[in-house]
Structure 1
C-alpha cells in the first residue's frame, strides 16, 4: 500500500442487515478500520436495498441480486446483477488493497477479476472449507466452484487468512501458496458481548424476550439449517432445560413447542441481551472450527457445548472448560442435562470462557494484525 491513510475495499456476499457470521465480521472490520483512519468501502449484494450509502464512516455499495437460492435451500448464495463487475473495477481502482471474504461467491469472483485487471493487491479471508450439506447437488456445486473460481482466487491472493487448521489444509489443497497463508481469528466486541451483571439483569432480559424464569436456558445462535446443527439440537431436547433459538431458517422449521422458543433473527445488540438471558450455549455445527457465535458466547461468559472439530486444535482450549462433543444427539442431550444440574460447573466454564475471549478475541488486536497483512500484501507484489 502506498498511501496514508490506506484505502481498503472489503467484499462480502452479504452485509448487515442480512444476518450471518461473515457479514457481521465484515461490518466489524469495516468499522474498526475506519475508526483507525482507513478509508473503507464495502462491496456487497442487496435485495431491495441497493445503491451506495455511508454507514458509520464506511461507504457501503449494494448491488441488486436475486436471493432465491437462500429462500429455497437455506444456502446463502446471492446472484448479483451484471453491473457487479463494473462496480468492482471502479472501486478496485481507488483501493490500495482488495480484501475478499470467502471465495465461494460471485461477489468474490468479480473482486478477483477487478484486482487482477487493476493490479491491486488481493487479500482473502477463507472462513470455511467444503460444507457437508445434505444435498448431493449442493455438495457437487461447492466442489465445482472451489475447483474453478476458488483455485483462481487462492492462487492470486497475496495473503490468505484462515480461522483454523482445517481451513488451512483446505486452502493449501486448492492452490494457495504456503508462504501466503496465515491464521487470524475473528474479533469479537467484548464490550457488547459481556456477562450479565446481576440476577436482576437476567430476569429483565428473559422478560423482554418472553423467556421463562427459573429454567435453565440453552441457547443456539445461527441459521436454522443442518450445517449449524439445528436439527441435532432439536433432537437433543430434554426436560431438564429449555432450548432458545436465534436465527433465520428455511422451510420446515417447526413452531415453538413446550420447552422450545424461537426468537427469529435479531440485531447484534439484542443477540447480546439474549446471551445474557441464557445459561448455556450449544452449537453442534459441522466443518466450522471456531465460528463467530462461539466466540460471542465465550465473551458473554456462557459455558460452550459444540462439535469436536479439528479446527479448534490451534487454540489450545481447556477441554474441561469447553465441551467438545461428537455430533450425536444422545451425547449432546446427556451433556446438556449434566450442565443443567450443575450450576457450579456452569459458573466455572463461564468464567474460563470470558477470560479466554478477553485474551484472544479483542478487535484492536485483530485490526492491528489485519493492517500488517495489508501492508505485507502491498509489499509482496
Structure 2
C-alpha cells in the first residue's frame, strides 16, 4: 500500500494581500486559505504599511513595511523595506515550493532570488500582460522590468500558470518555456457570490446600498481607471433606455459626479460587493488586456448576465457567445447591448442562468487547489492545457 503524500509547504508571494482590495490579492488569499484547509502549510509574504506576522485562517501572513505612494498615481507598486530579502530567504529555505503571483513586483524579485539561493522550485502565476498605462514612463518601466527580472522568473519557473490565452502568449514571448505553461481558471466562492434567493433579498440589498428600487441596474466593479473602461461605459450610457449604472470601486470618482442615473458605491468589502451583485440586474466591464477578470467570474457566480470585452484571452473558456456578450470596446455597441438587456427580463434570466451554471461547473476552489498542488509537484491534473491547446 502506497504512503499518502505529505501536503506541501508553500511560500506564497503577492505584492498586496487583504485587507488591501484588488483582484490579485483576493486570488492569493483564497488560494492560501483553501490550500491550508486541504492540509498544506502556507506562508504568505506581502507588503503593508507596517511589518507584522500573524496567523489568519490557518495561514501565516508575513507583512513587510512598504512605501505605497505610487498607488495614489494609479501605479500599484509598493516599495518594500530591504527586510523583504531576508524574509524571503528564511521562508523559502523551509518551503517545498515558492508560488509567486505576477513577476512585476519587488516581492516577486525577492522571492525569485530566494528560490535560486535555496534551490527551491518556484511556480509563477502570471495574471496580466503589459498594461496600456497612459504614462509613457510607466509603459517603459514595464517593458524594462519584464525584459530583465520578469524574463528570469518566467524562464526558471517549474510551471507558469495563466488565466487566459492572451497572457499565455505574453508569457511565452517574455521567456516562459511553452512546455511548462498551464491554463488554470481562478476559483470563486460560490457560497458568498450567489444569486438573490428571492425578490425581497434583492430589494433589501438595494436599500442597504442606497440604490433605487424601480430601475434596471447595470453594475461595474473595478477601479475607475481607463484600463477598466469606466470612461467607455459612461460614454455609452443612455439613461432614456431605462437603466442606471452602478459603480463599485475607487479611482476617478469625480467622473461620476452629477451624471443622471449614475450611482457610485466606492470601494466595497467582499461581503458588500456580493450584496451589490445581488442588488443589480446585469454586469458590464469594458476592460482591456485582462482576459477573464475575477469580477466577471464573481458576477457569473452571482447569476448576472455579463457584457464584457471580446478579448482573445477568453478562448480557452469556450463561452457560449449567445449567453455572454463579448463586444468591441465601442460605446455605440456597448450602449446597444445595455439597452437590449435592460428591455428584456427573459433574456436577462436566460443569460443569468447560464452564468451561474458555468461558474458552478468551472470555478470550484476545490478543483483549483487540487490542480495547483499537482503543479507544485511538477505533475499535471485535469487542468492540464498546453500553450498550443489554448488556441484550439
Tell me if TM exceeds 0.5. yes
Q: List alignment gaps of at least 5 residues for structure 2.
A: 381-392
- CA positional deviation for 1:255: 3.0
2-side partners of 1:310 and 1:102: how far apart? Answer: 20
Q: Give the alignment partner of residue 360 of structure 2, picking from 358, 361, 377.
A: 358
1:71·1:250 contact (CA, 8 Å) conserved in 2? no
- CA positional deviation for 1:3: 7.5
Aligned to 1:368: 370
Query: Partner of 1:376: helix, strand, or coil?
Result: coil
- CA positional deviation for 1:254: 3.9
- CA positional deviation for 1:95: 0.7
2:202 is equivalent to residue 205 of structure 1: no
Query: Partner of 1:318: helix, strand, or coil?
Result: coil
2:256·2:264 contact (CA, 8 Å) conserved in 1? no
Q: Give the alignment partner of residue 267 of structure 1, picking from 269, 272, 296.
A: 269
1-side partners of 2:258 and 2:301: how far apart? Answer: 28
Query: Partner of 1:357: helix, strand, or coil?
Result: helix
1-side partners of 2:93 and 2:379: how far apart? Answer: 16
- CA positional deviation for 1:223: 1.0
2-side partners of 1:311 and 1:254: how far apart? Answer: 30
Q: For each residue in 1:80-105, what CA deviation from the matched residue of structure 2 results, as whole angstroms up to 9, or x when unmatched?
A: 11111111101111211000000011
- CA positional deviation for 1:13: 0.6
1:103·1:146 contact (CA, 8 Å) conserved in 2? yes
Distance change >3 Å, CA 187–CA 353, structure 1 → 2: same
Aligned to 1:125: 125
2-side partners of 1:302 and 1:356: how far apart? Answer: 11
Aligned to 2:280: 278
Instruction: Tell me the TM-score normalised to structure 1 length.
Output: 0.96
Q: How many residues align?
A: 375
Q: For each residue in 1:118-144, what CA deviation from the matched residue of structure 2 results, as whole angstroms up to 9, or x when unmatched?
A: 000100000111111222221111111
Aligned to 1:135: 135
Mapping for residues 61-140 of structure 1, pairs under 5 Å: 61-72=62-73, 74-140=74-140
1:100·1:125 contact (CA, 8 Å) conserved in 2? yes
2-side partners of 1:186 and 1:296: how far apart? Answer: 10
2-side partners of 1:353 and 1:245: how far apart? Answer: 21
- CA positional deviation for 1:256: 5.6
Q: For each residue in 1:240-262, what CA deviation from the matched residue of structure 2 results, as whole angstroms up to 9, or x when unmatched?
A: 21111111215854436321111
Aligned to 1:162: 162
Q: For each residue in 1:291-320, what CA deviation from the matched residue of structure 2 results, as whole angstroms up to 9, or x when unmatched?
A: 110000000000000000000011111111
1:123·1:377 contact (CA, 8 Å) conserved in 2? no
Instruction: Tell me the TM-score normalised to structure 2 length.
Output: 0.93
Q: List alignment gaps of at least 5 residues for structure 1.
A: none
2:253·2:264 contact (CA, 8 Å) conserved in 1? no
2-side partners of 1:210 and 1:251: how far apart? Answer: 17
Aligned to 2:17: 15
- CA positional deviation for 1:75: 2.0
- CA positional deviation for 1:5: 2.9
Aligned to 2:300: 298
Aligned to 1:151: 151
2:100·2:125 contact (CA, 8 Å) conserved in 1? yes
Query: Partner of 2:377: helix, strand, or coil?
Result: helix
Aligned to 2:33: 31
1-side partners of 2:93 and 2:258: how far apart? Answer: 50
Aligned to 2:321: 319
Q: For each residue in 1:33-69, what CA deviation from the matched residue of structure 2 results, as whole angstroms up to 9, or x when unmatched?
A: 000011111000102x421111111111111111111
Q: Give the superposed CA RMSD.
A: 1.5
